[in-house]
Amino acid sequence: MEERKVICGLDPEMLSLNLSSAGAEERYSRRLLYWVYRRGIRSFSEPDDIPVSVKSALEERFLTGVNPPISSVRSADGSVKYLFETAAGLPHETVWLPEGKRMTVCVSVQSGCRMGCSFCATGRSGWSGNLMAGEIVNQVVGLPNPFTHIVLMGMGEPGDNIDEVIRACRIFTAEWGLAAGRSKVTVSTVGVTPSVIRLLNETEVNITLSLHSPFPDEREEVIPAERQWPFTETLKLMKEYDNVRRRRFTVAYVMIKGNNDTGRHLEELRRLLHGTGIRVNLLPYHSLPGDPEESADEETMMQFRHLLVTSGVGASVRRSRGADIAAACGMLAAGGTPRQRRG
């Protein structure tokens, strides 16, 4: 029997082609996408505006591709970490972060990661494979929770799976997709230059550069990708971008005590970012097992932020979330650690 095609991950044109080659009526394409992306249907029996005969034909040849997580664990602060698995068995984690009216879903783009950043559990656990656009999107539509913001900051480097990431971003923002609003979607990258260029040209989402240090030699020690793709190239692209549509560019800066929280680092950050409109997001460091480094304390981070802001560089401190369930920044490692199965 022919393998059933998956709808989640397709755009209207691709779905129309698939429908017509399966002998189904193309005119149901957009309606079906509405049910898959906005309503998260798992079965074709659910839509009430598609004829029964069409629904049974669909059931035979297609899958919605919307799948629930296989387990979840809840943090004391209310955030929830979910474990998903692709049809090919690739585990990947998603974190849901409620904060007042804002509900952010942090999705993975790969199972593991091959960038090898030393401060990141995902990097240490290795790479198992790329996720398809539908598998990235499923981490939002397959969740039982609502969302207001989507960040591609979970497992994996978006720049290392750029075709699927761009496809997923289009589905997140398109009217026929999740219609999340382009300002509500953010992609975080270590700065794979050719992929950053594609994100700038082919999407309208916000971009965050994971910086760690404003000094290339220091950055290279923790983010090996610096060797191939110097961060200065991404900063240059951000600075030169004709930002008429006001997409947001941010630098993520994980603060390690006595390492990158000194006056020297502050001065260089100011020099690089002053007058550019690029904001700095200061993040606490989450120590990994066997790691002697520790996070800069809250007072240092607040002072660092204050000095950046008073010198004209927009900056904020991001509160740590989900550290008790290994869901905070840099802690996701479903590809390399035994899975926690619950629920």
Q: Which residues bind ligand SF4 (CB under 6 A)?
A: 113, 115-117, 120, 122-123, 155-157, 190, 210
The distance of closest approach from Cβ of residue 24 to ligand SF4 in the complex, given in angstroms and rounded to an integer, is 39
Closer to ligand SF4 by Cβ: residue 117 or 133: 117
- Active-site residue identified among 93, 135, 164, 226: 93
Residue 93 falls in the annotated catalytic set: yes
Q: Which residue is nearest to ligand SF4 (CB)?
A: 123
In the bound state with ligand SF4, the residue whose beta carbon lies nearer, of 36 and 117, is 117
CA distances from 340 to 7, 33, 109, 123, 334 (A): 29, 33, 20, 19, 9
Tokens 């095609």: give the residue: 5
106 is catalytic: no
Query: At residue 47, what are phi and psi to the nearest 5 degrees?
Result: -60, 135
Least distance CB 123 / ligand SF4 (angstroms): 3
Other C-beta atoms lying within 10 Å of the C-beta of residue 299: 8
Cβ-Cβ contacts under 8 Å for 237 (sequence gap 6 or more):
193, 196, 197, 200
**Minimum distance, C-beta of residue 247 to ligand SF4, in the bound complex (Å):** 21
Task: Between 32 and 207, name the residue whose CB sits nearer to ligand SF4.
Answer: 207
CB of 187 to ligand SF4, least distance (A): 11
Number of Cβ within a 10 Å radius of residue 199: 23
Contact 136, 152 (CB under 8 A): yes
**Residue written as tokens 């971008």?**
241
Closer by beta carbon to ligand SF4, 172 or else 229: 229
User: Which residues are identified as catalytic?
Assistant: 93, 329
